C-alpha cells in the first residue's frame, strides 16, 4: 500500500529544481504545493548542514512544519576530483552566498582549466518529511561524469553545460532532452529511489 501523501510541498525556490522534481515525480499520486503558487508564508531555510542529507532534512522539516503538510526536499552538488571533492554541498554558493548560476559556473570553469584530471560527479540526497512527527524517509544517488571547459547546450541549469555524464553519449547534461537527463541524473535516480522507499 502506497505511503505517498496526497499533498506534498516542494521545499525549494529554485525554479529549475522545482521543474525537474515535478517532471521526475509526474506519476506520483500527489498534488504538488510550491512557493509562489501557495499563499502561505514559506520559511527561508539556511543550509547550515555539513552534508547533502543534513541540508535536505533541514529544508524538508522546516517547510513541512510551517505548512503543516508533508514535504520533499533535495540537496545536491557537484564533487570535482581536482578540487578534492569540492565544491560539494556548497555548490550553489561556490562563488559566494548570493552567487548566480552563471557566477558559480564561471568560477568552476576557471578552477579546473589548468587541471588534467576532470573527473566529477553530481550528488543528490532526496528527503520526504512529515510535520510534527519527526518522521522522514530519504534516498541518495549520484551521476558520474567528466568536466569540460567549453560550455555546450542550453538545457538544464547550474553546472549542466560543462558536465558530461559517463552514462551518456558524449553530450553534456545541458544538451540532453529533459527525459534523457532525468533517466540518468542524480536527482532522477534519488527521487525514484525515494518513491521506492516510500512505498516499501
Q: How far apart are CA 70 and CA 139, in angstroms?
A: 16
Question: Which one is catalytic: 75, 116, 160, 169?
Answer: 75
Q: How far apart are CA 200 and CA 196, in angstroms?
A: 6
Largest CA-CA distance found in the chain, in angstroms, rounded: 53
Q: How far apart are CA 87 and CA 112, in angstroms?
A: 12
- Say whether 75 is catalytic: yes
Cell 555524464 sits on residue: 165
Q: How far apart are CA 97 and CA 90, in angstroms?
A: 9
Q: What would the grid cell of residue 48 be?
A: 547550515
The pairing of strands 163-165 and 136-147 is antiparallel
Q: How far apart are CA 38 and CA 128, in angstroms?
A: 19
Q: What are the residue numbers of the active site?
A: 75
Amino acid at each position: 500500500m502506497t505511503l505517498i501523501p496526497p499533498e506534498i510541498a516542494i521545499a525549494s525556490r529554485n525554479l529549475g529544481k522545482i521543474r525537474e522534481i515535478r517532471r521526475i515525480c509526474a506519476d506520483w499520486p500527489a498534488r504538488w504545493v510550491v512557493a509562489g503558487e501557495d499563499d502561505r508564508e514559506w520559511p527561508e531555510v539556511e543550509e547550515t548542514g555539513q552534508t547533502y542529507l543534513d541540508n535536505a532534512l533541514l529544508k524538508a522539516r522546516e517547510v513541512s512544519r510551517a505548512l503543516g503538510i508533508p514535504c520533499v526536499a533535495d540537496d545536491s552538488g557537484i564533487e570535482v576530483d581536482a578540487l578534492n571533492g569540492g565544491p560539494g554541498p556548497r555548490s550553489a554558493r561556490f562563488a559566494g552566498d548570493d552567487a548566480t548560476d552563471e557566477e558559480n559556473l564561471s568560477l568552476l570553469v576557471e578552477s579546473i582549466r589548468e587541471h588534467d584530471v576532470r573527473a566529477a560527479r553530481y550528488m543528490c540526497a532526496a528527503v520526504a518529511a512529515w510535520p510534527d512527527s519527526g518522521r522522514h524517509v530519504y534516498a541518495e544517488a549520484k551521476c558520474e561524469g567528466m568536466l569540460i571547459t567549453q560550455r555546450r547546450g542550453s538545457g538544464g541549469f547550474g553546472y549542466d553545460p560543462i558536465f558530461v555524464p559517463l552514462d551518456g553519449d558524449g553530450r553534456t547534461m545541458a544538451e540532453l532532452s529533459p527525459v534523457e537527463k532525468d533517466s540518468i541524473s542524480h536527482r532522477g535516480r534519488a527521487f525514484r529511489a525515494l518513491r521506492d522507499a516510500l512505498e516499501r
